Each structure stands twice: as structure tokens, then as C-alpha cells.
Amino acid sequence: MKTKYTSEIFEILRRGRFICSNSPDDQIRMLYGILEEEETFIELQSYFNHINYHLEHGNEYFYFSRSESNADLDRKLKKTFGWIDLLDFLKTFDLSFDIGFRFSPAEITNQLKNNADLKNKLDNLKIIGADKRNYSERVKKVIEQLVKDDFVALENEMNETYKVLTSFNYLKELVTAINIPEEVENEIPE
């Protein structure tokens, strides 16, 4: 039996968003609980397959995947490289940046004042474009991208605190899946 929330689940996931177990949004957490019921998940997975959307269950999150054409794969690879650079930037900001981590844009901006490696990584982030604005505007753009991709959510508007969502596991699993054979690991690209 499909749930009365099927349409709502579809509308969220079809936009490339995640449904996370630790979302600060009560409605998203409720939808996560519905999808976590094995019988409902299997039924919705079958239902969405008929319209060419594959309901996937990650580590504490749900998302849609689809078969892609080669043109789309090229676009996805470019986006993936951007995510890898972003993950590197965030881990340079704080090694403990992971699921449930809380941070504010001011904390990142303050660390940029004393951390040359972090500044360098921010300068090279293609995901925020080549526009050379001040650090706080660039950090704001990084966070906007993280929110848009559903890896973090604003938890507290008063003190502008963000929380890392379980969908962040998607990024970590993506990087872990990259396998570079030892024989090419030390090669210098042409």
C-alpha cells in the first residue's frame, strides 16, 4: 500500500534532494521514518521504478538515482569534482566536520584569517566561481551551495548555526569509492 505521503516524498526527491534522519525539519524526519519501514520502502521503490526513478537507501538518508546518458555523466563528473574539493575544504576547516557537526559562517571566516591552507583551498573552489569577493561573502556562497545540495541545514537562525545532515555520508561514500591503483598513484598527469 502506498503511503499518503508518496507525492510529498516524490516532490522532494525528484529535485535531487535527500530525506535525512537528522534533518532539523520535523516533516523531513517524519518522511524518513515512513521510508525506513521496510514494506513501505520496497513498495515505493517498485512504484517509482515504473517512472524511471530509483529510490535508494543510503546510510541514514534516502535519495533518487536515475540512469544517465553520457552527456549527463560528464556533467555529474564535473559536479563530483566540485564536491571533492568542497569536502577537502571543509575537512581543512575542521577535521571533525561530519554528520551532526554544527558550525557558523563566522567560525569559518575567522579561521581563514590564520589558516593559509584553508585560504588557498577557498581560492581554488570552482563551486563558488572565480569572483574574488571578501571571505565572508565567499563562505556564504559555499554554505548556500551546501544547503542547496542538502548536505547541511540551517538549525538556528538567531545565531546562524548550521548542522551537517546524514546526506553528508553520500559525499564520504563517493570519495571512499574512488579507487586509484598504486601503479598510477604517483604518476604526474600530462
**116-147 confidence digits (pLDDT tens):** 999 999 988 877 766 667 888 999 999 999 99
Domain-ending residue, one of 40, 65, 90: 65
Residue 72, helix vs strand vs coil: helix
pLDDT of residue 102: 97
Q: 64-98 b/e with 16+ CB inside 10 Å = b?
A: beeeeeeeeeeeeeeeeebbebbbebbebbeeebe
Q: Cα–Cα distance between 102 and 159 in angstroms, integer?
A: 11
Does the pTM of the predicted model rise above 0.85?
no
Those residues with Cβ within 8 angstroms of residue 4's Cβ, 6 or more apart along the chain or in another chain: none
Specify if 13 maps to a domain.
Answer: yes
Give long-range contacts, CB 8 A cutoff, 24+ apart: 43-48: 43/1, 43/2, 44/2, 44/3, 44/6, 44/9, 47/2, 47/6, 48/10
pLDDT tens digit string along 158-188?
A: 999 999 999 999 999 988 887 766 666 666 5
Helix (H) or strand (E) run with residue 20 in it = strand 19-20
Domain-ending residue, one of 65, 85, 112: 65
Sequence-ordered alpha helix ranges (H) in the chain: 6-13, 26-36, 38-49, 70-93, 105-112, 116-123, 135-148, 168-177, 182-185
Q: Domain check: are 118 and 141 in the same one?
A: yes
Is 190 a residue whose pLDDT tops 60? no
pLDDT tens digit string along 58-104?
A: 999 999 998 777 777 788 888 888 899 999 999 999 999 999 999 99
pLDDT of residue 5: 93
Specify if 187 maps to a domain.
Answer: no
For residue 123, give the CATH number of its domain: 1.10.10
Q: Domain check: are 29 and 114 in the same one?
A: no
Q: Domain check: are 122 and 142 in the same one?
A: yes
Q: How many domains does the chain have?
A: 2
Specify if 184 maps to a domain.
Answer: no
Q: Domain check: are 56 and 118 in the same one?
A: no
Q: How far apart, in Å, do the first and last CA atoms of the chain sit?
A: 56
Range of the domain at 153: 70-179
Domain-ending residue, one of 15, 31, 65: 65
Those residues with Cβ within 8 angstroms of residue 85's Cβ, 6 or more apart along the chain or in another chain: 121, 124, 125, 126, 127
pLDDT of residue 77: 83
